[in-house]
Amino acid sequence: MDTAPSVGGLQEMALWSADGVLIPTATDGLAIGGVAEIVATLERLAQRHQWQGTILGVLPTFYDEITRESQTVLADLRASLGEDLVLDPIHRATALRECAANGQTIFEWDARSRAAQEYAGLVWLVVENYD
């Protein structure tokens, strides 16, 4: 389930009901705080309400290896959360905006694009590591 930031506990209920959580985050400075809040919420749910799920990973998105901000945010995520928890980033791509605007998936729009390859890698990672 994809939820908006917490409104009236909806996000917490969705997280508690999940067996696994994938935390997407943009690679900009403001995003790190949101990841920390989600992780803290999951820890609180585990302590207070016996949540037994797993964090599948933190998925950096809108990554642009040319900008210092993206590089710094990715490095900070890996330093604070660990290399194992932070997944390979999904790069910023025009094809992702185009497919969304046309109501198609990236696989329908441009299956050979780097974006499609990165998302396919994510799909296989989840399939292989999550029962």
pLDDT value at position 117? 97
Does 103 share its domain with 63?
no
Does 43 share its domain with 88?
yes
**Structure-block tokens of residue 37:** 């809040």
Instruction: Tell me the Cα Rg of the chain.
Output: 16
Taking alpha carbons only, the member of 60, 66, 3 closest to residue 28 is 60
pLDDT tens digit string along 54-83?
899 999 999 999 999 999 999 999 999 999
Number of H-type helices and E-type strands within the chain: 6, 2
Whole-model pTM: value is 0.88
Specify the range with the lowest mean pLDDT, choosing from 15-24, 39-48, 122-131: 122-131
Query: Rounded distance, CA 18 to CA 12, Å?
Result: 10
DSSP string, 68-97: HHHHHHHHHHHHHH-TTTBPPPPBP-HHHH
pLDDT greater than 80 at residue 130: no
Does 82 share its domain with 111?
no
Does 34 share its domain with 78?
yes
State which residues form the domain around 116: 93-131
